[in-house]
Amino acid sequence: MSPESQVPSSESESPSPRPPGGLRGDTDSGLGTRDSGLHEGNAAILRRTLSAVSALYAAWNGLVGMMAVALRGSSTVAVDPRFILLHAAVLGLAGTMQWRPMRGHLLCTAAAVAGSIGFVLLDLRRGNLESAVVDGLYVPVAAALLYFSRPRT
């Protein structure tokens, strides 16, 4: 057999399973059809991830707030439980609004971030570094997920 007979001709080649633009298929054809579809799907996943993170923080803050309400009569509570419960409600609302972006979802998420920053400052003033770290982790997570899920032009 000659080496020329071993090389497949261009007519008999099967189509490549890979998309033409690379492994992920995010090619820019000028029409924005394929790339925008991938970005919209990824953005929806990131928004729903932020929604789930917000819901987890809301549930946790709600539990802490309910414990603070239960302890309010028997001991001195450092923060009024109503503020903790209010923050839990804002986190829950931000998570709900991020699931399918509604008007004002960024404002609500910004309010949840501001509340987390406020609790970080209160925790640091009391010298409770562990609680400040847990409260403060919401801020970079929300910022990163919002940044990467923004519409790209």
Of residues 110 and 41, which shows the higher confidence score? 110
Select, from the ranges 40-49, 79-88, 96-105, the one with the highest average predicted confidence (pLDDT): 79-88
Cβ atoms of 71 and 77 within 8 Å: the answer is yes
Q: Encode pLDDT of 120-149 as tens digits.
A: 999 899 888 998 999 899 999 999 888 888
| Token output for 16 | 């490549």
Q: How much is the pLDDT for 57?
A: 93
Q: Is the pLDDT of residue 21 over 70?
A: no
- Label residue 56 by pLDDT band (50, 70, 90): very high
The predicted model scores a pTM of 0.68
Output the pLDDT for position 116. Answer: 93
**Residue 7 and residue 45: Cα distance in Å, rounded?**
44
User: Which one is predicted more confidently, 152 or 51?
Assistant: 51
CA-CA-CA-CA dihedral for 69, 74, 76, 82, to nearest 10:
10
pLDDT at 74 over 80: no
Residue 124's CB: how many other CB atoms inside 10 A?
A: 14
* Interaxial angle between packed helices 105-126 and 81-99, expressed in degrees from 0 to 180 and rounded to the nearest 10: 150
Segments making up each domain of the chain, as ranges:
34-148
Q: Is the pLDDT of residue 22 over 80?
A: no
CB-based contact 88:62 (threshold 8 Å): yes
- What is the band of 68 on the pLDDT scale with cuts at 50, 70, 90? confident
**88-99 per-position pLDDT tens digit:** 999 999 888 888
Q: Residue written as tokens 């971030």?
A: 113
